[in-house]
């Protein structure tokens, strides 16, 4: 049976009120991985050794992500050396990944990027940023003339030294339109190839994101140049993913994200959620099978625990003990159709991210859960054994562990007591 006939998707209905006639299908999008730059700015995480950073870079490439900002080389000697080792790894292994480095709008931040680019003969991006919102201008004692001077000098310096510039305004989502027009026009005029709209404090909503990108396009059109637009969003209001998807919908060319959403304060757009949503919305060139390995590598390197209920890669993302859910999944398994198994009680297919459906036994389970567990573990099935396990599960306040179930099976096979005797014995054994 055609799978499309089994799932009606309200996400792709034409909306008569939508003047853009958008069917929510993404045609093309790039991603810039910021795990090794913004991710390292998260409070309470480790700056991993370079070997673990390289492992993350390798997985970024294997997921078919084409760009990564790998650090802030002017910040300290350790960061400079780590960036250098990453560049060497990319060259030696012929990895197709555009490497970027962060820099403020000052020449001393850009010089290390130029030095590394010239030393290894590799084109590098300078992600050059400056704060532009009125509140930051007030705190810093800047005026628009001062900012324009910083932009002019830094962008020209980088471009003159054959460094591609992605020009970023910090706190874009709280900046004045006229200021943004003047600042971005200055950056474009002096050679910036990309511009990045940054929701530094997580202020934006999806509507605000779309408004801003629309405004940015008007600036680019007025300059009569082909400039690519990036979106970099934070999660302070819990809207980072929604805003990133809105940015794509509005025509952004590239989205910034980090593994597990790690970053300043409450973090950034999470890479794994972004990629899955992009794929499910119609773009399939990302290798999602590597997502779990990537997230585990980020978790290990940055010492950031993945919550059990975390979407896509959490321990419980494809796990259930509920009888109704488990019964439907098991029936799908009996049809030997992986497509059905992954969709009857999931929207994100487990196999797409290197995972599988897991059936547990707990207080809300039914006989099908127990039968499945016994079959999977090659245990001879009997009605009494099923009832014994299920009875124990029903008086528990949590799911039974595999060890606990195995003990019940072993004790049942060894004793074959009466049902009441057996129930009493197991109840005391598993407390």
Per-residue pLDDT of 10-60, as tens digits, reads 887 755 444 444 444 456 799 999 999 999 999 989 899 999 999 999 999
- Model pLDDT for residues 360-417, shown as the tens digit of each residue: 999 999 999 999 999 999 999 999 999 999 999 999 999 999 999 999 998 888 865 5
What pLDDT does 230 receive? 98
Asked if residue 291 lies in contact with residue 64, where contact means CB atoms within 8 angstroms, the answer is: no
Token pair listed for 31: 């991603």
Strands 164-170 and 125-131: parallel
What pLDDT does 232 receive? 98
What pLDDT does 1 receive? 60
Backbone dihedral region for residue 242 (phi beyond 0: left; psi -120 to 50: alpha; all else: beta): alpha
User: Is 14-302 in CATH node 2.60.40.10?
Assistant: no
Helix (H, G, I), strand (E, B) or coil at 68: strand
State residue 130 phi and psi, 5-degree precision.
-150, 145
What pLDDT does 224 receive? 76
List of long-range contacts for 304-308, beta carbons under 8 Å, 24+ apart = 304/42, 304/45, 304/260, 304/262, 306/260
Give how far Cα 98 sits from Cα of 26, 29, 47, 67, 125, Å.
22, 15, 22, 4, 8
What pLDDT does 10 receive? 82
Token pair listed for 375: 């079959």
pTM for the model stands at 0.88
What pLDDT does 16 receive? 42
Helices 177-189 and 144-160: angle between axes, nearest 10 degrees: 20
What pLDDT does 416 receive? 57
What pLDDT does 430 receive? 47
Of 73, 103, 105, which Cα lies nearest the Cα of 86? 73
Query: What are the structural domain ranges in the chain?
Result: 14-302, 319-429
Of 189, 198, 199, which Cα lies nearest the Cα of 227? 189
The list of the chain residues with pLDDT below 70 reads 1-2, 4, 14-27, 415-431
Of 142, 141, 198, which Cα lies nearest the Cα of 175? 198
What pLDDT does 125 receive? 97
Token pair listed for 409: 């099976």
What pLDDT does 420 receive? 57
What pLDDT does 23 receive? 46
Task: In whole angstroms, give the CA distance from residue 262 to residue 35.
Answer: 7
């Amino acid at each position: 049976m055609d799978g499309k006939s089994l799932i009606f998707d309200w996400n792709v209905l034409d909306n008569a009120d939508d003047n853009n006639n958008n069917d929510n299908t993404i045609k093309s999008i790039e991603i810039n991985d910021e795990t090794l730059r913004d991710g390292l700015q998260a409070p309470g995480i480790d700056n991993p050794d370079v070997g673990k950073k390289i492992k993350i870079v390798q997985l970024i490439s294997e997921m078919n992500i084409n760009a990564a900002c790998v650090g802030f080389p002017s910040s300290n000697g350790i960061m400079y050396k780590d960036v250098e080792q990453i560049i060497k790894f990319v060259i030696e292994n012929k990895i197709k990944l555009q490497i970027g480095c962060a820099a403020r709008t000052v020449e001393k931040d850009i010089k290390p990027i130029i030095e590394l680019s010239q030393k290894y003969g590799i084109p590098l991006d300078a992600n050059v940023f400056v704060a532009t919102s009125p509140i930051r201008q007030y705190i810093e004692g800047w005026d628009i003339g001062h900012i324009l001077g910083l932009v002019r000098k830094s962008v020209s310096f980088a471009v003159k030294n054959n460094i591609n510039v992605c020009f970023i305004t910090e706190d874009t989502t709280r900046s004045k339109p006229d200021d943004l027009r003047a600042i971005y026009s200055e950056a474009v005029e002096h050679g910036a190839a990309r511009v990045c709209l940054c929701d530094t404090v997580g202020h934006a909503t999806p509507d605000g994101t779309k408004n801003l990108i629309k405004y940015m396009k008007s600036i680019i059109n007025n300059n009569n140049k082909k400039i690519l637009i990036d979106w970099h969003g934070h999660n302070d209001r819990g809207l980072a993913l929604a805003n990133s998807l809105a940015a794509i919908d509005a025509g952004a060319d590239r989205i910034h994200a980090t593994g597990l959403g790690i970053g300043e304060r409450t973090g950034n757009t999470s890479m794994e959620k972004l990629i899955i949503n992009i794929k499910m919305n119609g773009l399939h060139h990302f290798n999602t099978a590597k997502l779990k390995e990537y997230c585990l590598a980020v978790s290990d390197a940055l010492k950031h625990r993945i919550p059990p209920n975390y979407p896509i890669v959490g321990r419980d993302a494809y796990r259930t003990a509920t009888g109704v859910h488990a019964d439907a999944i098991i029936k799908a398994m009996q049809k030997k159709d992986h497509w059905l198994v992954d969709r009857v009680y999931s929207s994100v297919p487990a196999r797409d991210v290197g995972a599988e459906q897991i059936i547990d036994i707990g207080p809300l389970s039914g006989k099908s859960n127990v039968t499945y567990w016994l079959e999977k573990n090659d245990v001879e099935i009997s009605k009494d054994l099923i009832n014994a396990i299920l009875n124990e599960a029903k008086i528990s306040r949590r799911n039974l562990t595999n060890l606990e179930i195995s003990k019940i099976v072993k004790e049942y096979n060894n004793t074959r007591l009466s049902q009441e005797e057996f129930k009493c014995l197991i109840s005391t054994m598993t407390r």
